[in-house]
Amino acid sequence: SVAAARGLAMARKIPVAGVPVLDAMALDAGFSVVATEAPRGLLFSQFTGSAPVQSTFEDMPLPPAGTTAQVIGFRAGDIAERIGGVVRAPLYSLPEAIARAAMRMIQSGDVPLPVPLYIRPADAAPARDKPPVMLD
């Protein structure tokens, strides 16, 4: 999807901005913890201002002591109870939040090209065989 967005933007000569889902979910929510479901019973979570992580619910990082986080997304009630936060619905639907965040980037002139965000390592291992030799 990132390659398609970049290709369309280049062809149409329009700006394109990448907005991670967790950032969009937390848009304008103040200090927050956002989470979304990940494969294999895990979750992706992110505190405002930090990088997203993949973990189990039990191993999820905790916010700094003394902060009250607004918890948004997957298992929000469980997370809020665990960290002493408050459950909150996102302020915007996901498509609207992505559009708002992208527009802010474009208006500010700070528009990094979208790139894939890989939170966990790939399941497949690199090939052990040597690559074929290309002939001239």
Buried residues in 120-136 as b, exposed as e (16+ CB within 10 A): eeeeeeeeeeeeeeeee
pLDDT of residue 27: 94
Residue 128 pLDDT exceeds 80:
no
60-81 pLDDT per residue, tens? 988 887 788 899 999 999 999 9
94-107 pLDDT per residue, tens? 999 999 999 999 89
Question: At 136, is the pLDDT very low, low, confident or very high (cuts 50, 70, 90)?
Answer: low
CA distances to 59, 75, 78 from 20, rounded to whole Å, are 22, 19, 23
The phi-psi region of residue 90 (left if phi > 0; otherwise alpha if psi is between -120 and 50; otherwise beta) is: beta
Residue 133 pLDDT exceeds 70:
yes
Rounded to the nearest angstrom, the gap between the alpha carbon of residue 58 and the centroid of all alpha carbons in its chain is: 20
What is the pLDDT of the chain when averaged over all its residues? 87
Rounded Cα distance, 131 and 83, in Å: 49
